[in-house]
């Protein structure tokens, strides 16, 4: 407690010294990453709240943390003995911007570290506050003066992606950007998004947990390519290759100086949704051309070699999960297993597959009531003991050199009752409806979302998260700009295109009891081109049995039974040759037994 009071006190002194009345402390990094390196977890250090999403506000009289429903429980526990109050984001409570507008007015100044906020978001703050005459200020990192024993700056080595998965060389990708510069009559593009930089340069790293990205900036102009990364992170042989290819290395923090040193007339292409506000502020506005990043859009369309690799990866992942779930079943016969231990075992089984790199996100192993906490992640302290009864939800994924995976299965550890079966069956029917849909090419995720929910809706049920998100290639497990959700005009709602890799993950959560989610990854593919236009469809890529013990067969249509049988048939045919012993093979045969057609209702 004393530590946290001291930290808060330091921030308040910093506010006074800098003439600010309030400071917004978000969870981001200078690259608007979803996951951030320890070095940037200032909000966590200051408040003690470790959830990945949350904003702290510090004024002389108040200190609060705002977070959403995923983290209410965790935040309540973690903030209990801290000097920060918890503000639960909901329709009923004030958001932090409205709260600030209620507490401050003309003559007040509110600041934020301009590196931790995108230019677009910064404009929204500015507009919001200016209504009330509040001044909004971008400041330099306040924690650089305050945070003692701050974690060191990320400095893992970078490496090249495998040539087997590389359809385009660095040179070709740089040329692709340069062609766009020419078309747009621009001189240079600033790339700040870490996975965009990795994509262009065909590199990866491990600067951030569960990520494959490299903390850096990239500037591509018609003449030069400048990569801002601490040189010690670039192995000598890569330095040499970069040099040959005309890619200049600069120290990471020199990006600001570099931008300032450019000629004033330089015409910049910048994505204001990605570029941080401090960096953006260095550009003279009349020479900035704003647009959604070309790389962001291109990266989401998976290439033939990437697709080939992802398909191989899915088989490895299926084998690893087979072993993990078999291990659980066997172990439960003699003892209980903590959620935490099972999460580790899953990663362990994955790590035995060739080309494995890391988890693609911290696994969610939610036993019974924990399954109903949508973003639950077991820790040593929180973990329940799994035993031979009830429901278990497991959402996990891996980064492999040959692609990134994300899969959720929910299994019954004892005979489920009718209520569980009704919920599970409604979720499964929605999953199948989305997996089977054919749609014209202008269709967006928002149009398809109801297909996955309709059977839950019919029973007065629903789930509070989106139905699908894009997945990167050996890259971010959550990737824009495509998604499937009811959000209108959201960031991730573009018309779907062939080549988009996306998840299908309807669910249902009964608070205090259990959670159900069935998630496969799907590739968007061309289905047909007729005189009525082009039609797309989804090809399911994930191969692992769905637990039929939880399904009420009488509620399935003939088409749904056909889908399940055909899916399980493919799971079996593809995975059995990769399994090493008869016990594994027998397990797989058991789990993929066809549903008799006589069983429809």
List interacting residues with a second copy (CB under 8 A): 437-440, 442-444, 446-451, 454, 457-462, 486, 488-489, 493, 527-528, 530, 532-533, 535, 557-558, 601
With beta carbons less than 8 A apart as the criterion, state whether 276 and 114 touch.
yes
Q: Distance between CA atoms of 362 and 136, rounded to whole angstroms?
A: 36
Closest separation in Å from C-beta 74 to a second copy: 23
Q: Distance between CA atoms of 409 and 422, rounded to whole angstroms?
A: 17
- What is the DSSP pairing of strand 288-290 with strand 268-270? parallel
Closest separation in Å from C-beta 489 to a second copy: 6
Take residue 241 and report the two structure tokens written for it: 């290759």
Ramachandran bin of 137, using left for φ above 0, alpha for ψ from -120 to 50, beta for the remaining angles: beta
Closest separation in Å from C-beta 61 to a second copy: 32
With beta carbons less than 8 A apart as the criterion, state whether 20 and 100 touch.
no
Instruction: Choose between 384 and 425: whose C-beta lies nearer to a second copy.
Output: 425
Instruction: Choose between 128 and 486: whose C-beta lies nearer to a second copy.
Output: 486
Instruction: Choose between 42 and 427: whose C-beta lies nearer to a second copy.
Output: 427
User: Can you tell me whether residue 225 is helix, strand or coil?
Assistant: strand
Instruction: Choose between 18 and 443: whose C-beta lies nearer to a second copy.
Output: 443
Closest separation in Å from C-beta 51 to a second copy: 24
Closest separation in Å from C-beta 450 to a second copy: 5
Strand partners, 337: 386
Q: Distance between CA atoms of 419 and 430, rounded to whole angstroms?
A: 17
Q: Distance between CA atoms of 29 and 33, rounded to whole angstroms?
A: 6
Instruction: Choose between 527 and 572: whose C-beta lies nearer to a second copy.
Output: 527
Closest separation in Å from C-beta 486 to a second copy: 6
Strand partners, 495: 444
Instruction: Choose between 241 and 600: whose C-beta lies nearer to a second copy.
Output: 600
With beta carbons less than 8 A apart as the criterion, state whether 126 and 439 touch.
no
Closest separation in Å from C-beta 468 to a second copy: 14
Closest separation in Å from C-beta 91 to a second copy: 10
Element (DSSP H or E) covering residue 98: helix 96-103
Instruction: Choose between 460 and 577: whose C-beta lies nearer to a second copy.
Output: 460
Closest separation in Å from C-beta 440 to a second copy: 5
Q: Output the CA–CA distances (angstroms, integers) from residue 551 to 129, 317, 393, 423, in the order listed.
A: 52, 24, 15, 9
Closest separation in Å from C-beta 460 to a second copy: 4
Closest separation in Å from C-beta 285 to a second copy: 18
With beta carbons less than 8 A apart as the criterion, state whether 249 and 234 touch.
yes
Instruction: Choose between 210 and 372: whose C-beta lies nearer to a second copy.
Output: 372
Instruction: Choose between 357 and 535: whose C-beta lies nearer to a second copy.
Output: 535
- For 139, phi then psi, to 5°, come to -115, 165
Segments in 205-303 forming alpha helices (H): 236-245, 255-261, 277-280, 294-299
CB atoms within 10 A of CB 491: 12
Nearest to 218 by CA among 244, 190, 243, 251: 190
Instruction: Choose between 180 and 447: whose C-beta lies nearer to a second copy.
Output: 447
Closest separation in Å from C-beta 453 to a second copy: 8
Q: Distance between CA atoms of 350 and 546, rounded to whole angstroms?
A: 19
Instruction: Choose between 206 and 493: whose C-beta lies nearer to a second copy.
Output: 493
Instruction: Choose between 38 and 441: whose C-beta lies nearer to a second copy.
Output: 441
Task: Kindly tell me the number of DSSP H helices and DSSP E strands found in the chain.
Answer: 18, 30
Instruction: Choose between 5 and 438: whose C-beta lies nearer to a second copy.
Output: 438
Give burial (CB, 10 Å; 0-12/13-18/19+) of 463.
Answer: buried
Instruction: Provide DSSP, 123-178.
Output: HHHHHHHHTTT-EEEEE--THHHH-TTPPPPP-PPPEEPPGGG-SS-HHHHHHHHH
């Amino acid at each position: 407690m004393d530590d946290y009071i001291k930290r808060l006190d330091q921030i308040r002194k910093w506010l006074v010294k800098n003439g600010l009345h309030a400071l917004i402390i978000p969870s981001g990094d200078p690259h608007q990453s979803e996951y951030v390196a320890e070095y940037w977890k200032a909000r966590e250090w200051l408040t003690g709240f470790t959830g990945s999403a949350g904003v702290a506000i510090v004024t002389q009289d108040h200190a609060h943390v705002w977070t959403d429903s995923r983290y209410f429980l965790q935040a309540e526990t973690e903030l209990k003995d801290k000097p920060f109050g918890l503000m639960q984001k909901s329709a009923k409570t004030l958001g932090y911007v409205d709260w600030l507008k209620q507490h401050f007015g003309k003559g007040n100044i509110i600041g934020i570290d301009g590196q931790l906020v995108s230019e677009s978001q910064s404009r929204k703050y500015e507009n919001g506050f200016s209504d009330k005459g509040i001044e909004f200020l971008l400041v330099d990192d306040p924690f650089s003066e305050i945070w003692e024993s701050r974690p060191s700056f990320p400095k893992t080595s970078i490496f090249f992606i495998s040539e087997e998965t590389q359809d385009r060389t660095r040179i070709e990708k740089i040329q692709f950007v340069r062609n766009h510069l020419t078309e747009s009559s621009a001189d240079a593009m600033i790339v700040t998004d870490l996975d965009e930089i990795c994509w262009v340069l065909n590199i990866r790293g491990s600067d951030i947990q569960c990520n494959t990205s490299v903390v850096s900036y990239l500037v591509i102009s018609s003449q030069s390519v400048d990569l801002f990364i601490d040189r010690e992170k670039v192995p000598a042989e890569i330095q040499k290759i970069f040099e040959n290819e005309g890619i200049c290395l600069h120290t990471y923090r020199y990006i600001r100086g570099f931008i300032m040193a450019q000629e004033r007339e330089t015409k910049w292409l910048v994505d204001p949704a990605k570029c941080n506000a401090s960096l953006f502020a260095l550009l003279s506005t009349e020479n900035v051309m704003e647009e959604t990043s070309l790389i962001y859009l291109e990266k989401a369309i998976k290439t033939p070699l990437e697709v080939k690799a992802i398909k191989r990866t899915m088989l490895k992942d299926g084998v690893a999960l087979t072993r993990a779930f078999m291990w659980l079943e066997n172990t439960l016969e003699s003892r209980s297993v903590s959620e935490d231990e099972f999460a580790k075992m899953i990663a362990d089984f994955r790590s035995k597959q060739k080309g494995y790199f890391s988890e693609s996100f911290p696994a969610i192993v939610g036993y019974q009531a924990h399954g109903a906490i949508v973003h639950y992640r077991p820790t040593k302290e929180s973990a329940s003991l799994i035993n031979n009864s009830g429901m278990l939800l497991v959402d996990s994924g891996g980064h492999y050199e040959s692609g990134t995976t994300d899969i959720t299965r929910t299994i019954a550890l004892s005979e489920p009752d009718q209520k569980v079966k009704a919920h599970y069956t409604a979720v499964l029917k929605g999953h199948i409806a989305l997996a089977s849909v054919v749609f014209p090419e202008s269709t967006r995720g928002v149009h398809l979302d109801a297909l996955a929910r309709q059977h839950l809706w019919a029973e007065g049920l629903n789930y509070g998260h989106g139905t699908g998100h894009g997945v990167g290639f050996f890259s971010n497990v959550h990737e824009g700009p495509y998604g499937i959700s009811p959000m209108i005009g959201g960031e991730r709602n573009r018309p779907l295109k062939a080549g988009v890799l996306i998840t299908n993950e309807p669910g249902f959560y009964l608070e205090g009891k259990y959670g159900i989610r069935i998630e496969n990854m799907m590739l968007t593919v061309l289905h047909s081109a007729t005189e009525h236009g082009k039609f797309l469809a989804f090809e399911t890529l994930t191969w692992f049995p769905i637990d039929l013990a939880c399904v009420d067969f009488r509620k399935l249509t003939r088409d749904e039974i056909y889908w399940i049988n055909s899916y399980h048939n493919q799971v079996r045919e593809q995975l059995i040759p990769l399994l090493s012993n008869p016990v594994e093979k027998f397990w797989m045969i058991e789990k993929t037994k066809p549903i008799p057609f006589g069983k429809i209702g």
